[in-house]
């Protein structure tokens, strides 16, 4: 079948069972958009207000559905506007395929109008990228891109398509997508036996999970494993939802804003079983003081993570779900009642708490947790509200929590919520935002309204860049350099002028009623909540301190 490059792009998307793409048109992708128009009964296109919104929406779609997210932008500024979203996905191992247009082949490298070497720009923040210079290689390039995005440690892949490639014709033949197999080649019998020996000999094991548990869809196997070895479980920010937050073995998040039970407990352990986690600086803090008496058993799909930040005693490289299946098949069920009770004692003695004076973000999030169910997806922006959400909302299933962990991208949440709502139309999707983050991509309110997406935005307004202000308060003698925002913005009026519902919470007594009203809305709604500018996230580990040296509330 003779097709243009643009038609081949769309046919390959259909091959990969893509039902939704996010993007923004322009001159160098105009032929691809013409083909999308002709195929709109097969592929839905979501037009965002800005290309960065498209990249975050594709990311949120991927995280919440488990499918590959797809976004499209034109060359030059269109392509560069995607960069922050690509980096966000790369840092959090999110499968995405990004399609950009570029100037014709004859104009490449000549500083042509709207020309950028986007493949060069994104090389450090993609799993792989391509510039397609031969129309006969276009279809196989797209197929390979989807495979690379999905296999092993997932991540974004970019395909840059010059305009004349999209216009040229060549033969196209349908091909079935290549099956993505789970990575098991390095899961040897010896590696499993050595891991089991370590676990069996341990008196005080602690399971530390990361986002890899969610990506590998291993939460069921993890629950079985934790109950089999009777060990407490803590999670990085990215791992939340990989193990039920309400389970008695769960101790809460670990790290800079982790619970004292997690941070103190892991430093008392004799074996850390790290599963799909990378020992980031926000978890470990001062490496020399991290779990000084513990051996580390590290299970991860990416060999580059082994011994990168913390030295392992033993490791297994492979798909987490497959590793846990083999461990569960061979494990002897154990009883560590004394150790588990010790950690439970820490949980009872050092619960999360906050002052009960006035309207608090923690209280709002607790009430939100009470009135929502398992059919809910929560996205966040980045900052204090993100940490409060991680601390006070119970995530009991994977893919419930969408947040920028590795890059910490302010402005991520609204786009991610849009993608999640498009991918999960029957679920309640909530974006918890701070006022600083919200301003960065608030233009995407237009997208939510345009598609009548029933997203709930809970805007926690402390009139400041709260997390930076907290550091300035604690470590810079209260020199609040450029962190007091003092907006005159009427956020409820802003929402209403975009065409959505705007609600206000100014007193604690209003919280439950207004949140319920928001949930009952059939379209997008913003709930504006004003809190005090000096409310802080506790516990907190000061820079350079051991993780069990926590600053508690007050």
From 96, 256, 387, 467, the catalytic residue: 467
Which residue, 179, 296, 305, 287, is CA-closest to 238? 305
From 52, 146, 154, 163, the catalytic residue: 163
From 11, 51, 221, 366, the catalytic residue: 51
| Dist CA 540 CA 490 (whole Å) | 32
| Dist CA 86 CA 362 (whole Å) | 31
From 1, 17, 113, 552, the catalytic residue: 113
| Dist CA 182 CA 71 (whole Å) | 26
Q: Which phi and psi (to 5°) does residue 272 adopt?
A: -100, 120
Q: For the chain, count helices (H), then strands (E).
A: 23, 22
**Is residue 113 annotated as part of the catalytic site, yes or no?**
yes
Q: Which helix (H) or strand (E) holds 478?
A: none
Q: DSSP states of 197-238 as a string?
A: HHHHH-SSEEEEE-HHHHHTT-HHHHHHHHHHHT--EEE-TT
**Is residue 51 annotated as part of the catalytic site, yes or no?**
yes
Burial 263-286 (b: 16+ CB within 10 A, else e): bbbbbbbbbbbbbbbbbbebbbbe
From 44, 114, 286, 545, the catalytic residue: 114
Which residue, 539, 255, 211, 259, is CA-closest to 400? 211
Helix, strand or coil, per DSSP, at residue 393: coil
Helix, strand or coil, per DSSP, at residue 11: helix
Helices (H), 337-460: 337-349, 361-371, 384-392, 412-423, 435-441, 445-450
Contacts of 325 (CB under 8 A, 6+ apart): 221
| Dist CA 545 CA 120 (whole Å) | 38
**Is residue 114 annotated as part of the catalytic site, yes or no?**
yes
**Is residue 467 annotated as part of the catalytic site, yes or no?**
yes
The catalytic residue positions are 51, 113-114, 163, 467
């Amino acid at each position: 079948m003779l097709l243009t490059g643009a038609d081949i792009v769309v046919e390959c998307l259909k091959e990969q069972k893509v039902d939704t793409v996010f993007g923004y048109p322009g001159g160098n992708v105009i032929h691809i958009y013409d083909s999308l128009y002709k195929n709109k009964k097969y592929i839905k296109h979501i037009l965002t207000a800005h290309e960065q919104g498209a990249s975050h929406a594709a990311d949120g779609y991927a995280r919440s559905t488990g499918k590959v997210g797809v976004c499209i932008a034109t060359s030059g500024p269109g392509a560069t506007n995607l960069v922050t979203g690509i980096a966000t996905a790369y840092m959090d191992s999110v499968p995405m395929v990004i399609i950009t247009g570029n100037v014709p082949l004859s104009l490449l490298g000549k500083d042509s109008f709207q020309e950028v070497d986007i493949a060069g720009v994104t090389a450090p923040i993609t799993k792989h990228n391509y510039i397609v210079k031969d129309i006969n290689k276009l279809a196989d390039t797209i197929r390979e891109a989807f495979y690379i995005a999905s296999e092993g440690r997932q991540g974004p892949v970019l395909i840059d398509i010059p305009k004349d490639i999209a216009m040229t014709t060549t033969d196209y033949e349908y091909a079935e997508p290549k099956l993505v197999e789970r990575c098991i080649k390095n899961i040897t019998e010896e590696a499993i036996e050595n891991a089991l020996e370590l676990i069996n000999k341990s008196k005080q094991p602690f399971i530390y999970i990361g986002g890899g548990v969610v990506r590998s869809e291993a939460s069921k196997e993890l629950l079985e494993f934790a109950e089999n070895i009777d060990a407490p479980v803590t999670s990085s920010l990215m791992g939340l939802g990989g193990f039920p937050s309400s389970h008695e073995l769960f101790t809460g998040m670990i790290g800079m804003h982790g619970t004292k039970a997690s941070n103190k407990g892991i430093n008392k352990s004799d074996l850390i079983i790290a599963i799909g986690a990378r020992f980031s600086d926000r978890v470990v803090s001062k490496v020399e003081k991290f779990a000084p008496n513990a051996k580390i058993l590290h299970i991860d799909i990416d060999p580059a993570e082994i011994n990168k930040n913390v030295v392992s005693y033993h490791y297994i490289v492979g798909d987490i779900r497959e590793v846990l299946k083999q461990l569960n098949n061979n494990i002897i069920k154990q009883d560590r009642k004394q150790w588990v009770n010790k950690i439970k004692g820490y949980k009872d003695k050092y619960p999360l708490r906050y002052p009960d004076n006035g309207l608090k973000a923690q209280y709002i999030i607790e009430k939100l947790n009470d009135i929502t169910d398992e059919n809910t997806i929560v996205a966040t922006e980045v900052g204090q509200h993100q940490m409060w959400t991680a601390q006070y909302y119970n995530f009991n299933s994977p893919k419930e929590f969408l947040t920028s962990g590795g890059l910490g991208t302010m402005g991520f949440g609204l786009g991610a919520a849009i993608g999640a709502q498009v991918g999960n139309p029957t679920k309640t999707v909530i974006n918890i935002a701070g006022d600083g983050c919200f301003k960065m991509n608030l233009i995407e309110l237009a997208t939510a309204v345009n598609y009548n997406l029933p997203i709930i935005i809970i805007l926690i307004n402390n009139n400041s860049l709260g997390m930076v202000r907290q550091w300035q308060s604690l470590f810079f003698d209260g020199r609040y350099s450029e962190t007091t925002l003092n907006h005159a913005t009427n956020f409820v009026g802003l929402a209403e002028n975009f065409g959505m519902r705007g609600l206000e919470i100014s007193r604690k007594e209003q919280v439950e009623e207004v949140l319920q009203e928001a949930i009952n809305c059939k379209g997008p709604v913003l709930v504006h909540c004003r809190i005090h500018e000096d409310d802080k996230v506790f516990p907190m580990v000061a820079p350079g301190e051991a993780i069990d040296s926590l600053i508690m509330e007050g």
